[in-house]
Amino acid sequence: MEQHAVEQHGKAEPTGLEVVVTTMASDSHTWNLVFLQLLLEELGHRVTNLGACVPDELLVAECRRIEPDLIVLSSVNGHGFNDGMRVIEALRARPELARTPTVIGGKLGISGSGTPARQRALLTAGFDGVFEEGGSVLDFQSFVGSLPAAASRTLPAGSGVLL
Amino acid sequence: MTGHGGGTGDAPAVRPGAPATTGTSAAPVASGAPDASAPSAVPASGFGAFVARARAAGALVVQPRMGMADPLRMRDGLRATRDADAVTVGTVTLDSYTRTGDLEAARRALAEGVGLNGYPIATHPADTTRAVLRGIADARFPVQVRHGSAMPEHIVRALLAVGLDATEGGPVSYCLPYSRTPLREAVTAWQRSCELLASTREYGASPHLETFGGCLMGQLCPPSLLIAVSVLEALFFRQHGLTSVSLSYAQQADPRQDEEALTVLGRLAGELLPDVDHHVVLYAYMGVFPRSPGGARLLLEDAARLAVRAGAARLIVKTTAEAHRIPTVGENLRALETAAAAAADERARPALTAGAPGPCAVDTGIEAEARALIGAVLELDADVGRALVRAFAAGYLDVPYCLHPDNAGRARTSLAPDGRLLWSSVGSMPIAGIADGGGPRPPILGSAGLITALSHVQRTYDDRAADPPRTPLPPPPTPVPPRTTSTPRRELGLTTP
Ligand code: B12
């Protein structure tokens, strides 16, 4: 099922990354996804935006099909930590996605800004970056900037510390 | 789907407040007075009747968005809402797993103590929920279930099973911005859900259903489309048996535009739903909220004043926690009382006399656009649901920035410096050139432009809170009438004369 994209903004560069922007099954918020899509396109990357309430199977299937250079999970409804822990396991279980740079951000719990323990748990579960609110977008931009140009798909060591 | 734990042979849920056993005493209407024959809209009891009585008594009904997973906290929240210094109705807001029909995830979250963003009504045993409501929800304190589900049958069954009969949503408004469910399937599911809800009338209940069409993406949707979808959803509810409905509209970024919009919504509802009990409900701003408590309060107060000026009967509030996290009971309580006080203050303004058309009678074309949209849709098919599906397929309705596959996705908006929402592209909607001010405006572009537009209201109110204007923006406040005289709940609530 194809989602509508907002108009492409910025020009994808040849060295640009192939990026999947998505939320998870329980979350219907999409302004966050539209924002992240525009931001990444302005940085010269190509974005597939999977839209609202993406079921785990569809999320994994789309990532296997696209084989992106970066997977960006965004959730703000408060279930993001719980959903993210489940989804990262499903993604990492696929050999072709086991090492794909994958980050999560937004409002991941129901009681306000993230805790270090929550971030550690997400990193341990397999995320390469966790961007909860508060200046998270700038950190995210430098994280994306640190990724190697398209085609080389492994993550430089130590990039996961950009929280 | 409902009582999946134990399959207590739930006689298909169609037994609202099945007297005695539920103890919630919600809706066991005096059996003698079935109102079905009386076309004079207002039912004798239930959610719609409560709001009508408050309105007649000159009070704005205020309502929280409130839902927590823990039954005891949910009960505390309902009790606090009931006992607030305001004329209130209660809310049980459901969590996102229940909304999306993933009851397994809701069950697991409860078992593992994962924080949920609402009350899992289809997962807690019905007896638990009855205990939550017992002695609190009744004819003097109606409780509405708020969800956000494109396929809400399991929710409607669950709420009927615990003796409730008021909820909200709609085949468009809980599909396009809330799911990836095909619109056609949502229409079918909503038809069945309406019929289920309406069937309780046989048992003397007065079920109530509110449209969510006046909200759509929460922000950046021009009023005419919000009004059109709200009215069309109300017509859909009526077609499927509901006789008590409310029509929503969400506060946007310019009070004058909102006042005009609410007046138009009231007028169209009166015209198109003459035989149905109805009222207009305003939602306090549904977009990116001010971060500061002061800014959040000012925005809520403006919503309450707007509701009074434009004749809305009910207001759904937002709290000072909105920009940050799920609010506490205390934050909700303060929001209710803040809104009620602002409404009373606005009502006490001398310039305002009841029944006066209030708004400064500007016409910027909202009404003409809304009529054109509604007319074009209704012409497509005599069945409102089919008409809606066709309308979206043809792009006659097109929700700006909505990613759903069944949305044409060509409409775009812009935001004037004063907060007024304007079309920059109407796509295939039959409203080109109707609104004043001539040609299309430049659309909102780019991530920075989008954030600037989305946070216009947040910025404005946070600034205002930080630095109150020297030249007072709102006219000087008039003395607040003694709050105690405002129609006490118990008198308001009496069900049968
Ligand atoms: C608009 C809105 C809606 C609209 C959404 C329309 C749409 N299709 O998007 C509607 C009305 C439909 C809606 C519905 C709901 N909402 Co809502 N919503 C909001 C609101 C008001 C604004 C969100 C928004 O659009 N922001 C604009 C975008 C651009 O910014 P953002 O999402 O905040 O993301 C920013 C950052 O977080 C960051 N970011 C986000 N993700 C990522 C990812 C990465 C990798 C990075 C680097 C950064 C990043 O980037 C963005 C820009 O800074 C917020 C409260 C607020 N902020 O004022 C509540 C809010 C997010 N909603 C909330 C909830 C709970 C819901 C509901 C579940 C209903 C409910 N129970 O109240 C439903 C969702 C149903 C579901 N299945 O999940 C809660 C979440 C609570 C929490 N996390 O603690 C909030 C915080 C309100 C509240 N205080 O209760 N909502």
Q: What is the pLDDT of residues A128-158, one digit of tens each?
A: 999 997 668 999 999 999 999 765 544 444 4
Instruction: Domain count for chain A, please give it.
Output: 1
- A29 CA distance to ligand 1 middle (Å): 6
- Residue B31 phi, psi dihedral angles, 5° rounding: -65, -25
Whether B431 maps to a domain, the answer reads no
Residues of A in contact with B182 (CB under 8 A): 1
**Cβ-defined contact of A79 to B97 (cutoff 8 Å):** yes
pLDDT band at A8 (very low <50, low <70, confident <90, very high): low
Ligand 1 site, residue B272, Cβ cutoff 6 A: no
Structure tokens at B38: 């009386």
Ligand 1 pocket mutation, candidates B102, B117, B119, B221, criterion most atoms within 8 A of CB: B117
Spatial CA neighbour of A126 closest among A107, A148, A99: A99
Ranges in chain B, pLDDT < 70 = 1-40, 351-361, 436-439, 469-497
Whether B403 maps to a domain, the answer reads no
Spatial CA neighbour of A76 closest among B325, B69, B447: B325
Ligand 1 pocket mutation, candidates A29, A30, A119, A140, criterion most atoms within 8 A of CB: A29
Helix (H) / strand (E) element for B105: namely helix B103-112
Burial class (CB in 10 A: 0-12, 13-18, 19+), B293: middle
Handedness of CA B353, B355, B356, B359 (dihedral sign): positive
Instruction: Domain count for chain B, please give it.
Output: 1
Instruction: Collapse the DSSP code of B44 into the 3-class scheme (helix H, G, I; strand E, B; otherwise coil) and give the result.
Output: coil
DSSP assignment of B167-222 equals: EEE-TTTTTTTT--S-HHHHHHHHHHHHHHHHHGGGGT---EEEE-TTTTTSSS--
Ligand 1 site, residue A140, Cβ cutoff 6 A: yes
Q: Is A27 part of the contact surface with chain B (CB cutoff 8 Å)?
A: yes
Taking the C-alpha atoms of residue B321 and residue A159, their distance in angstroms, rounded to an integer, is 33
Ligand 1 pocket mutation, candidates A50, A74, A76, A162, criterion most atoms within 8 A of CB: A76
Ligand 1 pocket mutation, candidates B288, B317, B404, criterion most atoms within 8 A of CB: B288
A110: nearest CB among B97, B148, B325: B325
Bridge partners, residue B248, by sequence: B281
Whether A143 maps to a domain, the answer reads no
- Cα-based distances in Å from B105 to B96, B102, B496: 10, 5, 42
Ligand 1 site, residue A28, Cβ cutoff 6 A: yes
Structure tokens at B466: 């930080």
Bridge partners, residue B93, by sequence: B146
**Cβ-defined contact of A111 to B402 (cutoff 8 Å):** no
Q: What atom in ligand 1 is closest to the CA of residue B321? A: 89
What ranges make up the beta strands (E) of B347-453? 412-415, 421-425
Ligand 1 site, residue A114, Cβ cutoff 6 A: no
Residues of B in contact with A135 (CB under 8 A): none
- A32 CA distance to ligand 1 middle (Å): 7
Cα dihedral angle (B154, B155, B159, B162), rounded to 10 degrees? Answer: 50
- Edge-first strand listing for the sheet containing B143-146: B61-63, B314-316, B277-283, B244-250, B208-211, B166-169, B143-146, B90-93
Within 336-375 of B, beta carbons closer than 8 Å to A belong to: none
Whether B497 maps to a domain, the answer reads no
Structure tokens at B317: 């509030």
* pLDDT at position B435: 80
Which amino acid appears at position B126 of this protein? A
**Cβ-defined contact of B450 to A34 (cutoff 8 Å):** yes
Whether B493 maps to a domain, the answer reads no
Whether B13 maps to a domain, the answer reads no
Contact A85, A26 (CB under 8 A): no
**Cβ-defined contact of A31 to B217 (cutoff 8 Å):** yes
| Separation in Å, CA of A161 to nearest CA in chain B | 25
Q: What atom in ligand 1 is closest to the CA of residue B94? A: 71
Q: Is B43 part of the contact surface with chain A (CB cutoff 8 Å)?
A: no
Whether A91 maps to a domain, the answer reads yes
Whether B398 maps to a domain, the answer reads no
- The owner of tokens 């794909």 is A100
Whether A77 maps to a domain, the answer reads yes
Taking the C-alpha atoms of residue B268 and residue B265, their distance in angstroms, rounded to an integer, is 5
Closest CA in chain A for residue B412: A6
Whether A138 maps to a domain, the answer reads no
Instruction: Collapse the DSSP code of B481 into the 3-class scheme (helix H, G, I; strand E, B; otherwise coil) and give the result.
Output: coil
Ligand 1 site, residue B449, Cβ cutoff 6 A: no
Structure tokens at B80: 């606090």
Residues of A in contact with B94 (CB under 8 A): none
Q: Which residues fall within 8 angstroms of residue A83, CB to CB, at 6 or more apart? A: A24, A25, A26, A27, A75
Ligand 1 site, residue B52, Cβ cutoff 6 A: no
Whether A69 maps to a domain, the answer reads yes
**Cβ-defined contact of B404 to A3 (cutoff 8 Å):** yes
Q: Which residues fall within 8 angstroms of residue B303, CB to CB, at 6 or more apart? A: B251, B282, B283, B284, B285, B315, B317, B318, B339
Ligand 1 site, residue B325, Cβ cutoff 6 A: yes
Ligand 1 site, residue B154, Cβ cutoff 6 A: no
Closest residue by CA, ligand 1 atom 13: A29
| Separation in Å, CA of B465 to nearest CA in chain A | 21
Instruction: Count CB neighbours of B396 within 10 A.
Output: 24
Structure tokens at B121: 């009504």
**Cβ-defined contact of B447 to A112 (cutoff 8 Å):** no
- What's the CATH number where A69 sits? 3.40.50.280
Taking the C-alpha atoms of residue A85 and residue A74, their distance in angstroms, rounded to an integer, is 13
Q: Is B404 part of the contact surface with chain A (CB cutoff 8 Å)?
A: yes
Ligand 1 site, residue B142, Cβ cutoff 6 A: no
Helix (H) / strand (E) element for B259: namely helix B255-272
Whether A151 maps to a domain, the answer reads no
Whether B258 maps to a domain, the answer reads yes
| Separation in Å, CA of B348 to nearest CA in chain A | 38
Tell me which residue range forms the domain holding B119. Answer: 26-351
Integer distance in angstroms from the first to the last C-alpha of chain A? 33
Helix (H) / strand (E) element for B63: namely strand B61-63
Taking the C-alpha atoms of residue A47 and residue A40, their distance in angstroms, rounded to an integer, is 7
Contact B138, B117 (CB under 8 A): no
Tell me which residue range forms the domain holding A98. Answer: 18-112+127-133
- What's the CATH number where B66 sits? 3.20.20.240
Contact B234, B280 (CB under 8 A): no
Taking the C-alpha atoms of residue A79 and residue A99, their distance in angstroms, rounded to an integer, is 24
Across A40-47, average pLDDT: 97
pLDDT band at A34 (very low <50, low <70, confident <90, very high): very high
Whether A4 maps to a domain, the answer reads no
Q: ipTM value of the model?
A: 0.90
Whether B281 maps to a domain, the answer reads yes
- The owner of tokens 């509110």 is B210
